[in-house]
Amino acid sequence: MSHTALDPFTQCLDAESAQRVVEFGITASVRKRVELLARRANKGVLAAVERANYEALINAADFIAILKLKAQRKLTSNG
pLDDT band with cut points at 50, 70 and 90 for residue 6: confident
Torsion of CA 8, 4, 53, 28, to 10 degrees: -60
- Tell me: pLDDT of 78 over 80: no
Q: Is 1 helix (H, G, I), strand (E, B) or coil?
A: coil
0.85 exceeded by the pTM? Answer: no
Instruction: Give the pLDDT of residue 1.
Output: 45
Sorted by sequence, the CB contacts under 8 Å of residue 58 that are 6+ apart come out as 34
